[in-house]
Copies of this chain bind each other. A is one copy, B any other.
């Protein structure tokens, strides 16, 4: 009975702030713009959240917590490695298709204020050591060729995320600015990234 009060101003603010912050970033977003998006007075933002910084922290921290756990769970399942990677890539690309602004936003913000990012990140206790271990075990078992597992993680993330973060550039370079074509390309990458990676890491 606390969730569905009436219009719940706080939630309206959070939703509006998320929209605006992701689209414009911390620097580019205006408090007035967020207020307009939420359909409220600007002073109300400061009533519920003390400052722009605090409001941003709420959004950003929540976002980090939301993204990472879902991802590693797939890779830590007991399925065969081919399937784990296939499912991971499919899920990740699908999530990015639903949140196309996310990559550029996150990259922008982690580079803007590294200290702030490190703090919010560390306090959210995200940990990839299990993931590294899993890949090492797959290598020992001879299921995939030996390599630095960090390279494998970096490559998978890179191939998934980069085409979204660099969309304006790649769309122009590879598809002459054809929006439809580029989105189809992104959709197809669920398959092509998996192929590319498995071709590289599966023993011959």
Q: A residues within 8 Å of B by Cβ? A: 25, 27-28, 104, 106-108, 110-112, 114, 117-118, 121-122, 126, 128, 132, 145, 147-148, 150-151, 153-155, 157-159, 161-163, 165-170, 172-175, 177, 185, 188-189, 192-193, 195-197, 199-201, 204
Contacts and interface: CB of A to CB of B under 8 A. Distances in A.
B199 A112 contact: no
Contacts of A204: 204
Count this chain's copies in the assembly.
2
Contact of A158 (B25, B106, B162): B162
B174 A107 contact: no
Contact of A174 (B121, B154, B175, B200): B154
A150 to B, nearest CB: 5
The 7 A-B residue pairs with the shortest CB-CB distance, nearest first, are A158-B162, A200-B200, A104-B111, A199-B200, A158-B158, A110-B168, A27-B27
A107 B151 contact: no
B163 A154 contact: yes
A172 to B, nearest CB: 6
A121 B169 CA distance: 9
A97 B123 CA distance: 30
